[in-house]
């Protein structure tokens, strides 16, 4: 009888630990594993569907080019769509897409910058779209990949290129993380729309909000799984730490009613950022909705910011 009680007492923690590991593995695959489709947008943004598809149709009518990096390395091959400006321009914007999206999902921003006279590069991030990769890196590996896209723009368009880095949601965090890298002088400004502070804080926040689960023990276990599969812990993936090393002009945009990437993350990123900086918190906008609420006002704010930092002779 005592032996049975002892085995039962020992078995309960083992069972709980096994269940936690299994749940963490499922969480990791749900959040980090690539999907070969673009998930449907949230219900609150369905009202923008018609406008969204009109931008996608516009993109499909453009004389685009397909660019690739790491062509001979199937496991690391990256693909992007390049939209040349209507008239020859030294200005190029590299647009970083959101979580489980691809370059095409940024067609509205491509249209905006194209109207502003920019060449537009729309990469599919690692683990998304036509690019290779089994897992999503939430901007961390992408920040290095984008250095390759920057080099490709300069090679294609010349040393007088004026490059803007622009991203939304995960893409916003990606360009924030790029800000801490050694960037060529041609990169002259960064615009980050609703980027998170770190993947660790974002995951912990969403676990609590969406699944009513605590940070511990799930986030540390997921971090350990990611270290095994991707080579780094989640604590390494930080916009805040990268922004501390920034010295380029950076414009932070964030929806006032964003509950997916909460506004305290905007303020933490803004406070951390070095270099000239500006912040625009858009009234009544939810996550990644700032453009859709008023595209004209959005373009005006972006244009005004860039006019301060990009030379006029383009």
CA dist 121 and 167 (Å) reads: 12
CA dist 169 and 149 (Å) reads: 20
Question: Pairing between strand 91-96 and 65-69?
Answer: unpaired
113 to each of 92, 170, 225, 236, 299, how far by Cα in Å?
9, 19, 39, 32, 8
Residue 138 CB partners (closer than 8 Å, separation 6+): 32, 99, 170, 173, 199, 202, 237
pLDDT for the residue numbered 313: 53
Under DSSP, is residue 92 helix (H, G, I), strand (E, B) or coil? strand
Residue 223 CB partners (closer than 8 Å, separation 6+): 200, 233, 234, 235
Helix, strand counts (H, E) of the chain: 11, 8
C-beta separation of 176 from 279 below 8 A: no
Going edge to edge, which strands form the sheet with 277-282? 65-69, 78-83, 119-124, 91-96, 162-168, 187-193, 250-255, 277-282
C-beta separation of 138 from 101 below 8 A: no
pLDDT for the residue numbered 18: 80
Angle, CA 220 vertex, CA 216 and CA 222 arms, to 5°: 115
pLDDT for the residue numbered 55: 98
pLDDT for the residue numbered 311: 77
Q: What is the pLDDT of residues 30-75, one digit of tens each?
A: 999 999 989 988 888 899 999 999 999 999 999 999 999 999 999 9
CA dist 104 and 202 (Å) reads: 25
Distance of alpha carbon 139 from the chain centroid: 6
CA dist 250 and 65 (Å) reads: 28
| Domains of the chain from N-terminus onward | 49-197+247-307 (3.40.50.1820), 199-236 (no CATH)
Instruction: Give the pLDDT means over successive 10-residue stretches in the chain (314 positions).
Output: 49 67 93 92 89 98 98 96 97 98 98 98 98 97 98 98 98 98 98 98 95 92 96 96 98 97 97 98 97 98 97 63
DSSP string, 148-205: HHHHHHHHHH-TT-EEEEEEETHHHHHHHHHTTS---TTEEEEEEES--SBHHHHHHH
pLDDT for the residue numbered 16: 63
- Pick from 230, 194, 223: which is nearest to 25 by CA? 223
Q: What is the pLDDT of residues 115-129, one digit of tens each?
A: 999 999 999 999 999
- Pick from 71, 41, 36, 78: which is nearest to 56 by CA? 41
């Amino acid at each position: 009888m005592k032996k049975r009680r002892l085995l039962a007492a020992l078995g309960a923690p083992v069972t709980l630990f096994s269940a936690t590991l299994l749940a963490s593995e499922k969480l990791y695959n749900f959040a980090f594993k690539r999907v070969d489709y673009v998930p449907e947008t949230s219900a609150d943004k369905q009202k923008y569907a018609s406008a969204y598809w009109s931008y996608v149709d516009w993109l499909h009518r453009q004389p685009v080019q397909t660019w690739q990096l790491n062509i001979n390395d199937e496991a690391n091959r990256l693909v992007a769509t390049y939209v040349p400006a209507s008239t020859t321009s030294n200005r190029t914007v590299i647009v970083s897409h959101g979580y489980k999206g691809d370059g095409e999902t940024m067609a509205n921003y491509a249209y905006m910058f194209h109207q502003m006279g920019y060449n537009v590069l729309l990469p599919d991030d690692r683990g998304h779209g036509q690019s290779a990769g089994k897992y999503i890196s939430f901007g961390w590996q992408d920040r290095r990949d984008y250095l390759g896209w920057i080099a490709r723009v300069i090679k294609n368009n010349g040393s007088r290129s004026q490059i803007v880095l622009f991203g939304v949601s995960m893409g916003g965090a990606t360009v924030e993380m790029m800000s801490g890298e050694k960037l060529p002088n041609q990169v002259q400004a960064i615009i980050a729309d609703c980027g998170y502070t770190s993947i660790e804080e974002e995951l912990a926040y969403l676990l609590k909000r969406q699944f009513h689960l605590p940070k511990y023990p799930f986030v540390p276990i997921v971090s350990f799984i990611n270290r095994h599969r991707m080579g780094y812990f989640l604590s390494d993936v930080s916009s805040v730490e990268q922004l501390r090393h920034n010295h380029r002009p950076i414009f932070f945009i964030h929806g006032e009613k964003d509950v997916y990437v909460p506004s305290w993350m905007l303020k933490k990123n803004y406070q951390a950022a070095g270099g000239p900086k500006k912040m625009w918190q858009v009234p009544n906008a939810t996550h990644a909705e700032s453009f859709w609420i008023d595209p004209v006002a959005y373009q005006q704010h972006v244009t005004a910011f860039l006019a301060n930092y990009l030379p006029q002779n383009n």
